[in-house]
Amino acid sequence: MKGKFITIEGPDGAGKTTQVKKIYEYLTSRGRKVLVTREPGGTALGEKLREVLLSLAGESPVPEAEALIYAASRAQLIKNVISPALLRGTYVLCDRFVDSSLAYQGWARGLGIEEILGINRWFIGELWPDLTILLDIDPEVSLKRLERARDRLEKETLEFHKRVREGFLKVREIFPERIVAVDASRSPEEVFDRISAYIRKML
Ligand SMILES: Nc1ncnc2c1ncn2[C@@H]1O[C@H](COP(=O)(O)OP(=O)(O)OP(=O)(O)O)[C@@H](O)[C@H]1O
Ligand SMILES: Cc1cn([C@H]2C[C@H](O)[C@@H](COP(=O)(O)O)O2)c(=O)[nH]c1=O
Protein backbone atom coordinates (compact mmCIF):
# COMPACT_ATOMS: atom_id res chain seq x y z
CA MET A 1 0.00 0.00 0.00
CA LYS A 2 1.23 3.48 -0.83
CA GLY A 3 1.60 5.86 2.11
CA LYS A 4 -0.01 9.27 2.39
CA PHE A 5 1.78 12.58 2.12
CA ILE A 6 0.70 15.31 4.55
CA THR A 7 2.24 18.77 4.71
CA ILE A 8 1.75 21.53 7.23
CA GLU A 9 2.17 25.17 6.29
CA GLY A 10 1.74 28.65 7.67
CA PRO A 11 3.50 31.85 8.71
CA ASP A 12 6.44 31.76 11.13
CA GLY A 13 5.34 30.88 14.65
CA ALA A 14 1.93 29.58 13.53
CA GLY A 15 2.42 26.40 15.57
CA LYS A 16 3.45 23.95 12.83
CA THR A 17 6.01 22.03 14.88
CA THR A 18 3.57 21.77 17.79
CA GLN A 19 0.87 20.33 15.50
CA VAL A 20 3.27 18.01 13.66
CA LYS A 21 3.99 16.31 17.02
CA LYS A 22 0.27 15.90 17.70
CA ILE A 23 -0.44 14.54 14.21
CA TYR A 24 2.46 12.10 14.58
CA GLU A 25 1.04 10.77 17.85
CA TYR A 26 -2.45 10.55 16.36
CA LEU A 27 -1.32 8.59 13.30
CA THR A 28 1.04 6.22 15.14
CA SER A 29 -1.66 5.48 17.74
CA ARG A 30 -3.78 4.32 14.77
CA GLY A 31 -1.09 1.91 13.61
CA ARG A 32 0.42 3.99 10.82
CA LYS A 33 4.19 4.12 10.23
CA VAL A 34 5.03 7.80 10.10
CA LEU A 35 8.12 9.67 8.96
CA VAL A 36 8.44 13.28 10.10
CA THR A 37 10.62 15.61 8.11
CA ARG A 38 10.99 19.30 7.39
CA GLU A 39 11.89 21.93 4.85
CA PRO A 40 14.33 23.32 4.29
CA GLY A 41 16.28 20.32 5.57
CA GLY A 42 15.49 16.67 6.14
CA THR A 43 18.64 15.40 4.39
CA ALA A 44 22.33 16.03 5.12
CA LEU A 45 22.54 18.38 2.14
CA GLY A 46 19.20 20.00 2.97
CA GLU A 47 20.30 20.78 6.53
CA LYS A 48 23.43 22.52 5.16
CA LEU A 49 21.25 24.52 2.77
CA ARG A 50 18.97 25.39 5.69
CA GLU A 51 21.93 26.97 7.48
CA VAL A 52 22.77 29.00 4.37
CA LEU A 53 19.16 30.14 3.98
CA LEU A 54 18.41 31.07 7.58
CA SER A 55 21.80 32.42 8.71
CA LEU A 56 22.13 36.12 9.38
CA ALA A 57 25.88 35.98 8.68
CA GLY A 58 27.48 36.64 5.31
CA GLU A 59 25.95 37.55 1.98
CA SER A 60 22.17 37.10 1.71
CA PRO A 61 20.94 35.28 -1.40
CA VAL A 62 19.08 37.41 -3.93
CA PRO A 63 15.37 36.38 -4.20
CA GLU A 64 15.97 34.22 -7.30
CA ALA A 65 18.90 32.41 -5.64
CA GLU A 66 16.81 31.99 -2.47
CA ALA A 67 14.00 30.33 -4.48
CA LEU A 68 16.48 27.97 -6.15
CA ILE A 69 18.20 26.98 -2.89
CA TYR A 70 14.83 26.11 -1.30
CA ALA A 71 14.03 24.14 -4.45
CA ALA A 72 17.36 22.28 -4.28
CA SER A 73 16.70 21.23 -0.70
CA ARG A 74 13.22 20.04 -1.73
CA ALA A 75 14.47 18.04 -4.74
CA GLN A 76 16.98 16.23 -2.51
CA LEU A 77 14.31 15.50 0.11
CA ILE A 78 11.80 14.19 -2.43
CA LYS A 79 14.21 11.82 -4.18
CA ASN A 80 16.08 10.52 -1.12
CA VAL A 81 13.46 10.56 1.63
CA ILE A 82 9.82 11.29 0.74
CA SER A 83 9.42 9.18 -2.37
CA PRO A 84 11.07 6.00 -0.94
CA ALA A 85 9.06 6.32 2.30
CA LEU A 86 5.73 6.62 0.47
CA LEU A 87 6.61 3.60 -1.67
CA ARG A 88 7.27 1.58 1.54
CA GLY A 89 3.75 2.50 2.69
CA THR A 90 4.95 4.99 5.30
CA TYR A 91 2.98 8.17 6.01
CA VAL A 92 5.12 11.26 5.48
CA LEU A 93 4.50 14.34 7.58
CA CYS A 94 6.46 17.34 6.31
CA ASP A 95 6.85 20.65 8.18
CA ARG A 96 6.58 23.00 5.15
CA PHE A 97 6.81 22.05 1.46
CA VAL A 98 6.31 23.74 -1.91
CA ASP A 99 3.47 26.02 -0.71
CA SER A 100 6.00 27.87 1.46
CA SER A 101 8.02 28.66 -1.68
CA LEU A 102 4.86 29.86 -3.44
CA ALA A 103 3.88 32.11 -0.50
CA TYR A 104 7.32 33.40 0.57
CA GLN A 105 9.26 33.59 -2.70
CA GLY A 106 6.39 33.65 -5.20
CA TRP A 107 4.12 36.14 -3.46
CA ALA A 108 5.91 37.92 -0.60
CA ARG A 109 9.21 38.36 -2.49
CA GLY A 110 7.27 39.13 -5.66
CA LEU A 111 8.88 36.49 -7.92
CA GLY A 112 5.48 35.21 -9.07
CA ILE A 113 3.53 32.16 -7.91
CA GLU A 114 3.39 30.72 -11.45
CA GLU A 115 7.15 31.18 -11.91
CA ILE A 116 7.94 29.35 -8.65
CA LEU A 117 5.40 26.65 -9.52
CA GLY A 118 7.18 26.15 -12.84
CA ILE A 119 10.57 25.55 -11.19
CA ASN A 120 9.07 23.15 -8.65
CA ARG A 121 6.84 21.21 -11.05
CA TRP A 122 10.00 20.13 -12.86
CA PHE A 123 11.10 17.85 -10.01
CA ILE A 124 7.92 17.35 -7.95
CA GLY A 125 6.30 15.46 -10.81
CA GLU A 126 3.35 13.52 -9.41
CA LEU A 127 4.46 13.84 -5.81
CA TRP A 128 1.99 16.44 -4.55
CA PRO A 129 0.69 16.19 -0.98
CA ASP A 130 -2.53 14.26 -0.36
CA LEU A 131 -3.43 16.82 2.30
CA THR A 132 -1.96 20.22 3.21
CA ILE A 133 -2.95 21.85 6.47
CA LEU A 134 -2.55 25.60 6.36
CA LEU A 135 -2.32 27.14 9.82
CA ASP A 136 -3.80 30.55 9.15
CA ILE A 137 -2.93 33.32 11.59
CA ASP A 138 -2.19 37.03 11.69
CA PRO A 139 1.65 37.25 11.77
CA GLU A 140 1.37 40.02 14.33
CA VAL A 141 0.12 37.29 16.70
CA SER A 142 2.29 34.38 15.53
CA LEU A 143 5.61 36.26 15.54
CA LYS A 144 5.06 37.23 19.18
CA ARG A 145 5.04 33.51 20.00
CA LEU A 146 8.68 33.13 18.97
CA GLU A 147 10.77 33.45 22.10
CA ARG A 148 14.11 32.38 20.58
CA ALA A 149 16.42 34.55 18.47
CA ARG A 150 14.91 35.21 15.04
CA ASP A 151 16.50 33.83 11.84
CA ARG A 152 16.97 35.70 8.54
CA LEU A 153 13.41 35.16 7.29
CA GLU A 154 11.80 35.79 10.67
CA LYS A 155 13.62 39.13 10.85
CA GLU A 156 11.82 40.36 7.74
CA THR A 157 9.37 43.25 8.24
CA LEU A 158 5.81 42.77 9.48
CA GLU A 159 4.67 43.87 5.99
CA PHE A 160 6.60 40.98 4.47
CA HIS A 161 5.01 38.50 6.90
CA LYS A 162 1.55 39.91 6.12
CA ARG A 163 2.23 39.28 2.42
CA VAL A 164 3.29 35.72 3.31
CA ARG A 165 -0.10 35.12 4.94
CA GLU A 166 -1.84 36.65 1.92
CA GLY A 167 0.28 34.42 -0.35
CA PHE A 168 -0.75 31.27 1.50
CA LEU A 169 -4.43 32.22 1.15
CA LYS A 170 -3.94 32.76 -2.60
CA VAL A 171 -2.20 29.39 -2.92
CA ARG A 172 -5.14 27.78 -1.14
CA GLU A 173 -7.44 29.21 -3.81
CA ILE A 174 -5.26 27.62 -6.49
CA PHE A 175 -5.29 24.17 -4.83
CA PRO A 176 -8.66 23.92 -2.99
CA GLU A 177 -8.73 20.11 -3.41
CA ARG A 178 -5.72 19.50 -1.17
CA ILE A 179 -5.27 22.60 1.05
CA VAL A 180 -7.45 23.14 4.11
CA ALA A 181 -7.11 26.21 6.32
CA VAL A 182 -7.37 26.04 10.09
CA ASP A 183 -7.60 29.03 12.44
CA ALA A 184 -4.25 28.84 14.26
CA SER A 185 -5.01 31.62 16.74
CA ARG A 186 -6.89 29.17 18.96
CA SER A 187 -5.33 26.94 21.63
CA PRO A 188 -3.07 24.06 20.47
CA GLU A 189 -5.80 21.57 21.50
CA GLU A 190 -8.53 23.39 19.58
CA VAL A 191 -6.29 23.69 16.51
CA PHE A 192 -5.56 19.96 16.66
CA ASP A 193 -9.28 19.12 16.98
CA ARG A 194 -9.88 20.78 13.61
CA ILE A 195 -6.83 19.16 12.03
CA SER A 196 -7.75 15.67 13.24
CA ALA A 197 -11.17 15.98 11.59
CA TYR A 198 -9.44 16.45 8.21
CA ILE A 199 -6.99 13.64 8.89
CA ARG A 200 -9.77 11.23 9.85
CA LYS A 201 -11.46 11.94 6.51
CA MET A 202 -8.23 11.13 4.67
CA LEU A 203 -7.49 7.82 6.47
N1 LIG B 1 -1.97 27.42 19.35
C2 LIG B 1 -1.00 28.03 20.03
N3 LIG B 1 -1.26 29.04 20.87
C4 LIG B 1 -0.27 29.67 21.54
N5 LIG B 1 1.05 29.32 21.47
C6 LIG B 1 1.37 28.31 20.63
C7 LIG B 1 0.38 27.60 19.88
N8 LIG B 1 1.01 26.66 19.14
C9 LIG B 1 2.31 26.77 19.43
N10 LIG B 1 2.54 27.73 20.31
C11 LIG B 1 3.83 28.20 20.87
O12 LIG B 1 4.36 29.11 19.90
C13 LIG B 1 5.76 28.91 19.71
C14 LIG B 1 6.02 28.54 18.25
O15 LIG B 1 5.39 27.26 18.01
P16 LIG B 1 5.95 26.24 16.94
O17 LIG B 1 7.43 26.07 17.08
O18 LIG B 1 5.11 25.03 16.98
O19 LIG B 1 5.64 27.08 15.61
P20 LIG B 1 6.22 26.92 14.15
O21 LIG B 1 5.14 27.33 13.22
O22 LIG B 1 6.80 25.56 13.94
O23 LIG B 1 7.37 28.00 14.16
P24 LIG B 1 8.51 28.24 13.04
O25 LIG B 1 7.83 28.85 11.89
O26 LIG B 1 9.47 29.14 13.70
O27 LIG B 1 9.11 26.91 12.73
C28 LIG B 1 6.16 27.83 20.71
O29 LIG B 1 6.62 28.46 21.88
C30 LIG B 1 4.87 27.08 20.98
O31 LIG B 1 4.83 26.48 22.26
C1 LIG C 1 10.28 25.66 2.76
C2 LIG C 1 10.44 27.14 2.70
C3 LIG C 1 10.63 27.88 3.86
N4 LIG C 1 10.77 29.21 3.79
C5 LIG C 1 11.03 29.97 5.03
C6 LIG C 1 9.93 29.94 6.03
C7 LIG C 1 10.63 30.07 7.35
O8 LIG C 1 10.84 31.45 7.60
C9 LIG C 1 11.96 29.39 7.11
C10 LIG C 1 12.01 27.99 7.64
O11 LIG C 1 12.04 28.03 9.02
P12 LIG C 1 11.07 27.11 9.94
O13 LIG C 1 11.53 27.45 11.33
O14 LIG C 1 11.35 25.70 9.58
O15 LIG C 1 9.67 27.52 9.68
O16 LIG C 1 12.14 29.37 5.70
C17 LIG C 1 10.73 29.88 2.57
O18 LIG C 1 10.89 31.11 2.52
N19 LIG C 1 10.53 29.15 1.44
C20 LIG C 1 10.38 27.81 1.45
O21 LIG C 1 10.20 27.17 0.37
154 alpha carbon – ligand 1 mean position (Å)? 13
pTM exceeds 0.95 for this model: yes
**Using 50, 70 and 90 to split pLDDT, how confident is the model at 167?**
very high
> Residue 10, annotated ligand binder?
yes
Q: Closest-lying ligand to the alpha carbon of 54? A: 2
Given a cut of 60, is residue 1 above it in pLDDT? no
What residue ranges define each of the domains in the chain, with the CATH number in brackets? 5-202 (3.40.50.300)
Which of 16, 18, 153 has the most ligand 2 atoms within 8 A of CB, as the residue to mutate? Answer: 153
- What ipTM score was computed for the predicted complex, to two decimals? 0.98
Q: What pLDDT does residue 40 have?
A: 98
Please state whether beta strands 179-183 and 5-9 pair in parallel, antiparallel, or not at all (unpaired). Answer: unpaired
Percent of the chain surpassing pLDDT 70: 100
Q: Give the model confidence (pLDDT) of 108-133 as tens digits.
A: 999 999 999 999 999 999 999 999 99
- pLDDT-derived band at 57 (thresholds 50, 70, 90) equals very high
Our answer on whether the CB atom of 15 is closer than 6 Å to any ligand 1 atom is: yes
pLDDT score, position 115:
98
Residue 40 alpha carbon to ligand 2 centre in Å: 6
SS (H, E, C) the chain: CCCCEEEEECCCCCCHHHHHHHHHHHHHHCCCCEEEEECCCCCHHHHHHHHHHHCCCCCCCCHHHHHHHHHHHHHHHHHHHHHHHHHCCCEEEEECCHHHHHHHHHHHCCCCHHHHHHHHHHHHCCCCCCEEEEEECCHHHHHHHCCCCCCCCCCCCHHHHHHHHHHHHHHHHHCCCCEEEEECCCCHHHHHHHHHHHHHHHC
Band (38; pLDDT cuts 50, 70, 90): very high
Q: Which atom of ligand 1 is nearest to the CA of 20?
A: 18
Q: Whose CA is nearest to atom 5 of ligand 1?
A: 145
Question: pLDDT value at position 169?
Answer: 98
pLDDT at residue 147 in the model: 86
Please give the distance, rounded to the nearest whole angstrom, from the Cα atom of residue 39 to the centre of ligand 2: 7
Write the pLDDT tens digit of every residue in 125-166: 999 999 999 999 999 999 999 988 999 999 999 999 999 999
The predicted pLDDT at position 158 comes to 97
Confidence bin at 2 (pLDDT 50/70/90)? confident
Mean pLDDT of the chain: 97
Q: Quick one: 63 exposed, middle or buried, by C-beta within 10 A (0-12, 13-18, 19+)?
A: middle
Where does ligand 2 bind, in terms of residues with CB under 6 Å? 12, 38-40, 70, 96, 100-101, 104-105, 153-154
Please check the confidence at residue 22 and state whether its pLDDT lies above 80.
yes
The predicted structure's pLDDT at residue 148: 86
Q: Does residue 17 have a known ligand-binding role?
A: yes
13 lines ligand 1 (CB under 6 A): yes
Whole-number Å distance, alpha carbon 30 to ligand 2 midpoint, is: 30
